Amino acid sequence: MAADLEEKTNRYGELLTEALEAATIAPPEGTPMADAAADCYEMAASYLEDGNHFQEQGDLVNALASFSYGHAWLDAGARVGLFDVPQDGHLFTVE
């Protein structure tokens, strides 16, 4: 089971890293929606940082949870139009 947790944690960390690189803020700068997108992006980036910290400490359960929460912030933002994201592939569930 530990190997499964380690593999899944690594996979979700990579997924969040790729998703952060692929997502761009969609609403025009200076609008409330752009501010909301920036907040969501910051939350996702913070969860990535937390997950990396937990992973370095050997706490794979909290690392996986952090990576999952971070990706959820981005994925939800993409669904409501806060981010421009790739429409195909494995990073987002926009369709």
Model confidence at 23: pLDDT above 70: yes
Q: How confident is the model at residue 94 (pLDDT cuts 50, 70, 90)?
A: confident
Q: How confident is the model at residue 19 (pLDDT cuts 50, 70, 90)?
A: very high
Secondary structure tally for the chain: helices H, strands E = 3, 2
Give the gyration radius of the chain's Cα atoms: 14
Read off the pTM. 0.91
Residue-level length of the chain? 95
For 18, residues 6+ apart whose C-beta sits below 8 A from its C-beta are: 91
Question: Taking residues 58-82, what's their average pLDDT?
Answer: 96
93 or 84: which leads in pLDDT: 84
